[in-house]
Amino acid sequence: MIRYDNSDLLSYGIEYSAAIPFSACKIINERKAGFLRSRLEPRSAIVFLAPYYTGDGERNISKYAVSEDYHVFMRSLFEKLCPELCEKYGGSFIGMADSSPADEVSAAVYAGLGVRGDNGMIINEKYGSYVFIGAVYTDVEFEYQPDRTAYCIHCGRCKAACPAKNGRECLSAVTQKKGALTDDEIAYTKEYGSVWGCDICADVCPFSQKAETTPIPFFYENRTPYLTKELIDNMSEEEFSRRAYSWRGKAVVMRNLTVTYENGG
């Protein structure tokens, strides 16, 4: 059994990582698990947190969507990291983020990187909930060294602040719907001024309120904190495809700008 050290990920600005047994991963997608097993026999998963918070500022979209899509960052990271890990430890390594067969929050909690808050999100002692979770699966058997520290104080602020009350759907989900919105959904997005996503439950968390900014340069580049119709119109298809809000198409973003602002933003 091999001892894992986090020096490789540290070189990319990622300080929170740990190796866990693959058997400890809660599989939630058997199709993706089958794809993984077709490429290697998974024995361990290196789970990590990539912080993305860059500081406050005027915006009308969720913090995670201000920079380019984090999948772009993850793909670039895995292209460099996996060969480095292979050279260092032997074996095979496959990186996954948001395409993992396992419950990512549960894996991060098991790895000791944070706790699951009352809002269902990971809470880290340093970066709050402003983190993306990634994992590198491998046929190398790493030694498991948990370091569990509880952070959530169950203050109830996230649940109290959440706008999804009285039968209302999650605000983030409403902003990502295709097609026409109902009158109530239009009033909902206007009330909170959201063109894409929602950060309310994370923002009120005591740990997110004292979150440190990310050391990862990617999240400071090519930022679009405040969307307007002009900005979206002038984006090339290639530029737009690199945004977190691109997966629903320009029409959804344009609709949200129209219903959220009388002048369309």
Question: CA-CA distance, 176 to 257, in Å (whole number)?
Answer: 12
**What DSSP element (H or E) covers 96?**
strand 93-96
Has residue 263 got a pLDDT over 60? no
Alpha-helical (H) ranges within 6-69 are 7-10, 30-39
Q: How many Cβ atoms are within 10 Å of 55's Cβ, its own excluded?
A: 10
Structure-token pair, residue 150: 């509880």
Q: Which 3 state secondary structure label does DSSP give 75?
A: helix
Does residue 116 sit within a domain?
Answer: yes
First-to-last alpha carbon distance for the chain, in angstroms, is 57
Does residue 220 sit within a domain?
Answer: no
Same domain, 19 and 116: yes
Cα separations in angstroms, 190 against 42, 71, 101, 184: 47, 29, 36, 10
Tens digit of pLDDT for each residue in 172-208? Answer: 999 999 999 999 999 988 999 999 999 999 999 999 9
Question: CA-CA distance, 140 to 188, in Å (whole number)?
Answer: 49
Helices 183-192 + 250-260 axis angle, to 10: 80
Query: How many distinct structural domains can be found in the chain?
Result: 2
Same domain, 28 and 113: yes
Tens digit of pLDDT for each residue in 39-48? Answer: 999 999 999 9
Does residue 203 sit within a domain?
Answer: no
Identify the domain containing residue 47 by its residue range. Answer: 7-138
Q: How confident is the model at residue 262 (pLDDT cuts 50, 70, 90)?
A: low
C-alpha 1, offset from chain centre = 31
Has residue 253 got a pLDDT over 90? yes
Has residue 264 got a pLDDT over 60? no
Tens digit of pLDDT for each residue in 56-80? Answer: 788 999 999 999 999 999 999 999 9
Q: pTM, whole model, 2 decimals?
A: 0.93
Question: CA-CA distance, 214 to 240, in Å (whole number)?
Answer: 24
Same domain, 86 and 172: no
Which of 221, 201, 195 has the alpha carbon at shortest distance from 70? 221
Does residue 153 sit within a domain?
Answer: no
Same domain, 19 and 95: yes
Domain termination residue (choose one: 138, 153, 184): 138
Domain termination residue (choose one: 138, 172, 187): 138
Does residue 190 sit within a domain?
Answer: yes
Same domain, 134 and 172: no
Same domain, 36 and 129: yes
Same domain, 59 and 117: yes
Does residue 210 sit within a domain?
Answer: no
Does residue 192 sit within a domain?
Answer: yes
Has residue 265 got a pLDDT over 90? no
Question: CA-CA distance, 148 to 250, in Å (whole number)?
Answer: 42
Q: Which long-range contacts (CB under 8 A, 24 or more apart) does 75-84 make?
A: 76/218, 77/12, 77/50, 77/134, 78/136, 80/12, 81/8, 81/9, 81/12, 81/136, 82/136, 84/8
